Amino acid sequence: MPSPTVKLNSGHEMPLVGFGLWKVDNATCADTVYNAIKAGYRLFDGACDYGNEKECGDGVARAIKDGLVKREDLFIVSKLWQTFHDQDKVEPITRRQLADWQVDYFDLFLIHFPVALEYVDPSVRYPPGWHYDGKSEIRWSKATNQETWGAMEGLVEKGLAKSIGVSNYQAQTLYDTFKYAKIRPATLQVELHPYLQQTELVRLAQAEGIVVTAYSSFGPTGFIELDMDRAKGVAPLMEHDAIKAMATKHNKTPAQVLLRWATQRGIAVIPKTSRPAVMEQNLNHTDFNLDQEEIDRISKMDLNLKFNQPTNYFPTEKLW
Ligand code: NAD
């Protein structure tokens, strides 16, 4: 079943169900991307920071060479890392990322976080990560979000990105962007699952014509892989009694219920797995609807519990 699509404010169509590439290891990444294309995925959500864009590009190139898809069938998403926010750094790094993917445009390019760090030359370390010295030192850049967004708009003008968007923005950063954007963000990608529902932010983005993409739709599950205590300390969403009951009722899996809770409301999803059977299960989840009572039940599960915070990866004193 191909994913339904949603029209972005840029005029381009984006698949509502895509494939997430964070934590896909380098050794298996090309095969994983190839298998995901074979399973029917067309949207791939990558980033400089995931350190696997070359391998993603290898998987895409093989799928195109084998005739599974053409470039224009795919919707390739990547992200600008924090150390490249200065306006003169945006285009060169985008070109490098495109070269890694072996394509000449991104369908969507996002500001990964509204945080600017001092430039680290890719020849010194790539991907650069958060720390200037690769260990513990944080060095801020003075690049403003406005400066960076202007350079992102330049990518569209030069044909390097068809659409541009933002990630990990909250309401105030969005409002600021509206003041100066010549091209409005097409999408907002944020952590979003029943334990972190971001109801007001979703309402704002949708009212402003921005498509929301939910990341980490399975909540703690994606962070247990990182051995994060906060994630290990809460009940996995796929084992939650209410979610399991809905899955049984609709003859679906708990994962499909969690994904449908988003896509049913026009929110895109980008689940990640390396198992082909699970890839298919995640992609093919849009042929049923939760009823209002079930949506209301899930609304009550909100804990405002965010896992993907920089401060969850390293001690606060190292950040400030
Ligand atoms: P996820 O919510 O997709 O969860 C992944 C985990 O769930 C893996 O352990 C996987 O094995 C398991 N899983 C997947 N499908 C399953 C199923 N049907 N049944 C049982 N288990 C299943 O987590 P994620 O990787 O954190 O997020 C998805 C994607 O979102 C990332 O790969 C990345 O592309 C994107 N992301 C973006 C940001 C950002 O800052 N913009 C941050 C985090 C993630």
For residue range 195-236, what is the model confidence (pLDDT) as tens digits?
999 999 999 999 999 999 999 999 999 999 888 888 988 999
Give the mean model confidence (pLDDT) for residues 268-275: 96
Q: What is the DSSP string of 251-286?
A: T--HHHHHHHHHHTTT-EE----S-HHHHHHHHS--
CA of 223 to the centre of ligand 1 (A): 8
Position 8 in a domain? no
Q: Is residue 75 part of a domain?
A: yes
Alpha carbon of 221 to ligand 1 centroid (Å): 8
4-24: pLDDT as tens digits: 999 999 999 999 999 999 999
| Per-residue model confidence (pLDDT) at position 320 | 44
The reply to whether 1 falls in a domain is: no
Say if residue 271 is in the same domain as residue 282. Answer: yes
Cβ count near 179 (within 10 Å): 7
Q: Is the CB of 187 under 6 A from ligand 1?
A: no
CA 137 to ligand 1 centroid distance, Å: 28
Query: How close is the Cα of 279 to the center of ligand 1, in Å?
Result: 11
Instruction: Decide if 114 contacts 169 (C-beta within 8 A).
Output: yes
Which has the higher per-residue pLDDT, 93 or 224?
93
Is the ipTM of this structure higher than 0.95? yes
Q: Which domain covers residue 103, as residue numbers?
A: 13-185
Confidence of residue 313 (pLDDT cuts 50, 70, 90): low
Percent of the chain with pLDDT over 70: 97
Average pLDDT over residues 166-175: 98
Q: Which atom of ligand 1 is nearest to the CA of 225?
A: 9
Mean pLDDT of the chain: 95
Average pLDDT over residues 279-305: 97
Q: Do both 145 and 55 map to the same domain?
A: yes
Average pLDDT (120-136) is 96
% of the chain with per-residue pLDDT over 90: 92
Question: Does 23 sit in the ligand 1 pocket, CB within 6 Å?
Answer: yes
b/e for 24-49, b at 16 or more Cβ within 10 A? Answer: beeeebbbbbbbbbebbbbbbbbbbb
Residue 37 lies in a domain: yes
**149 and 238, same domain (yes or no):** no
What does the pLDDT read at residue 317? Answer: 52
- Residues forming the active site: 50
Which atom of ligand 1 lies nearest, measured to the CA of 271? 3
Two tokens, residue 36:
């995901």
Query: Is 6 a domain residue?
Result: no
Question: Which protein residue's CA is at the shortest distance from atom 44 of ligand 1?
Answer: 215
308 lines ligand 1 (CB under 6 A): yes
Q: Which amino acid is at 19?
A: F
